[in-house]
Homo-oligomer: A and B are copies of this chain.
Amino acid sequence: MDPRIREQAETIVDHSTDVQPGDNVVVSAPSVAEDLAVALHEAVGDRGAIPLLLGNSDRAERAFLRAVDDDEIETPTHLEACYEDSDVLIRVRSETNATEQGDVDAETQAAHTAARRPVQEVALSTRWCLTQFPSPASAQLAGMSTEAYENFVWDAVNKDWSAQRDHQARMVDILDPAEEVHIRCGEVTDVTMSVDGMETVNDHAEHNLPGGEVFTAPVVDSVAGEVLFDKPLYHKGREITGAHLVFEGGEVVEHSADRNEDLLTEVLHTDEGARRLGELGIGMNRDIDRFTYNMLFDEKMGDTVHMAIGRAYEECVGEDREANESAVHLDMIVDMSEESVIEVDGEVVQRDGRFRFEEGFEG
């Protein structure tokens, strides 16, 4: 086994989820990521905790979703019961065919996502971590050779997370006490939102491995303006490009996309919260040096911001603030490397991808 796989497992079990003796741990991994599942079982056993492996097959899920009637899709309460008795949930993503669910109806996908919402809520109450295993199909999605992609993933994953945490703390210090954020990019994107009373989180690879962003939640009804998400995104095996959202009073009032607009429409109609922003994130991981069509990495890039429609993370929501609730959480990215600026309470904190605490910043 590649020693970098065991290193990734150790990072997950120690740094990300702090596995303790007696913990009930769920490892959810597709078969193509079996090596990492094996390394995780070894690491979990070494720490005296109890693992359980979930299968997580896109092919099996597709077969179920194409066979079932939408109105028969119910919450998998047996999975919910399992999560309720779990301390740690490790979810490994890895593609065998990134478009495996490309022929599942968007409406069925939305019904499935909505039915799983209670399970997702329980999952978020555990010490959870989402990570990536580099498979050939994941490399193909990134447009890279398998070996180059393996290097990319393990370089991004197996690194000095305390140094990364310190770098990001400088942006947390700016954003956490702030009231208003104003983001402009290119000719279209011009959006403002309040983050007053919200909490800014320093993601140094606890819930996401790789980590490398700071993120918060907008005040629910404060978002106004429009955003062109100029980086493509994959959702349920389909690519949405050129997503354009117009916000009024926090709600999406107009939307369009160059490709798979119907899927975007379905997501926005999942529930009321799906039409509001649940997250504003700022990518700060400069070791992620290219887009790979994988949100777990793309959203961490140093000269990007991302916004997610749907569910807000509880940890971002201040005590007296409303949390946006939804069955969905769909991240969408804006490339901030050119013709762009982030202002916080009227002060420029990033221009063309450079933070004001980095070399090369031009206020």
User: A37, B64: Cβ atoms under 8 Å?
Assistant: no
Given contacts A24-B76, A38-B63, A81-B81, contact A55 B29 (CB under 8 A): yes
Which of A33-56 touch B at CB < 8 Å?
Answer: 34, 37-46, 48, 50-56
Looking at chain A's contact residues, is the secondary structure mostly helix, strand, loop, or mixed? helix
- Taken together as a complex, chains A and B put the C-alpha atoms of A46 and B68 apart, in Å, by 5
**Contact assessment for B41 and A64 in the assembled complex, using a CB-CB cutoff below 8 Å:** yes
Tell whether, in the assembled complex, residue A81 and residue B77 are in contact, meaning their CB atoms are under 8 Å apart.
Answer: no
Chain B residues contacting A84 (CB-CB under 8 Å) are 81
Chain A interface, number of residues (Cβ within 8 angstroms): 52
Q: Is A294 an interface residue (CB 8 A)?
A: no
Complex Cα spacing A54 to B67, Å: 20
Indicate whether A259 reaches chain B with its CB closer than 8 angstroms. Answer: no
Residue of B nearest to A31 (CB): B31
- Please give the residue numbers on chain A whose beta carbons come within 8 Å of chain B beta carbons, in ascending order: 21-22, 24, 26-27, 29, 31, 34, 37-46, 48, 50-57, 59-61, 63-69, 72-86
Which B residues touch A37, using CB under 8 A? 55, 57, 60
Specify which chain B residues have a CB less than 8 angstroms from the CB of A80 in the assembled complex: 85
**B contact residues around A31 at 8 Å (CB):** 31, 34, 55
B42 touches A77 (CB 8 A): no
5 new A-B contacts at CB < 8 Å, known A29-B55, A41-B61, A78-B82: A22-B72, A41-B64, A50-B74, A53-B54, A54-B55
A67 touches B82 (CB 8 A): no
Closest residue of chain B to A82 (Cβ to Cβ) is: B82
CB-CB under 8 A from A81, the residues of chain B are 81-82, 84-85
**A and B contact pairs by CB, cutoff 8 A, 9 listed:** A34-B57, A38-B57, A41-B57, A41-B60, A42-B64, A48-B72, A50-B74, A55-B55, A81-B82
C-alpha spacing A72/B20, complex, angstroms: 11
Instruction: Say yes or no: A43-B24 contact (C-beta < 8 A), given A38-B57, A38-B60, A81-B81.
Output: no
**A69 proximity list for chain B (CB < 8 A):** 48
Instruction: Assess whether B68 is in contact with A78, with CB atoms less than 8 Å apart.
Output: no
B-chain residues with CB within 8 Å of residue A68 when the two chains form the complex: 45-46, 48
> How far apart sit A84 and B78, CA to CA, in the bound complex (Å)?
8
Contacts of A61 in B (CB 8 A): 41
Given A21-B72, A77-B85, A82-B78, decide whether A51 and B64 contact each other with a Cβ distance below 8 A: yes
